[in-house]
Amino acid sequence: MCPFCVGTGRDRFQKGKLCVACDGWGRAAGPAQPGRTAEAADAAPREAAGQTKAGDSASLGVETRPHTNQLEDLLRDLVGDVDVCYPSFSGESLDRFRLLERCDMIRVLTCDVEADVLPRIREFVRDSPRFLFRRYGGREIHDKYVLTNTEVIFVGPSPENANGHSPTLIRVPVDVAGEMIQDVRLGFNRLWGAGNTLA
Together in a domain, 116 and 154:
yes
Judgement on whether residues 45 and 70 belong to the same structural domain of the protein: no
pLDDT value at position 81? 94
Specify whether 119 is located in the same domain as 26: no
DSSP per-residue codes, the chain: --TTTTTS-B-SSSTTPBPTTTTTSSS---TTSTT--HHHHHHHHHHHTTSSSTTHHHHTT-EEEE-SSHHHHHHHH--EEEEEE-SEE-HHHHHHHTT-TTEEEEEEEESEE-GGGHHHHHHHHHH-TTEEEEE--SSPP---EEE-SSEEEEEEPPPGGGTTS-PEEEEEEHHHHTHHHHHHHHHHHHHHHHSEE--
Inter-CA distances, 109 with 12, 82, 118, Å: 26, 11, 14
CA distance 101 to 127: 12
- Give the pLDDT score at 131: 93
Same domain assignment for residues 69 and 82: yes
CA 87 to chain centre: 10
151 with 168, same domain: the answer is yes
- Supply the CATH number for residue 186's domain: 3.30.870.10
pLDDT at 166: 56
Please report, for residues 25, 106, 183, the alpha-carbon distance to residue 12 in angstroms, rounded to integers and kept in the order given. Answer: 14, 28, 11
User: How much of the chain exceeds pLDDT 90, in percent?
Assistant: 16
Q: Give tens-digit pLDDT for 113-149.
A: 888 888 889 898 998 889 999 999 877 678 889 999 8
pLDDT of residue 31: 43
Q: Are residues 68 and 129 in the same domain?
A: yes
In this predicted structure, what is the pLDDT of residue 114?
A: 82
State pLDDT tens for residues 25-60.
777 644 444 444 434 444 434 343 333 333 444 444
22 and 85 in a single domain? The answer is no
pLDDT, averaged across the chain: 74
Tell me the average pLDDT across 84-92: 84
Number of structural domains in the chain: 2
Q: Tell me which of 159 and 14 has the higher pLDDT.
A: 14
Mean pLDDT, range 65-75, rounded to an integer: 67
Note whether 172 and 141 are same-domain residues: yes
Question: Tens digit of pLDDT for each residue in 93-118?
Answer: 788 888 888 899 999 999 888 888 88
Please say if the pLDDT value at position 65 is more than 60.
Answer: no
Is residue 7 located within the same domain as residue 98? no
- What pLDDT is attached to residue 69? 63
Which structural domain, as residue segments, surrounds residue 120?
Answer: 61-197
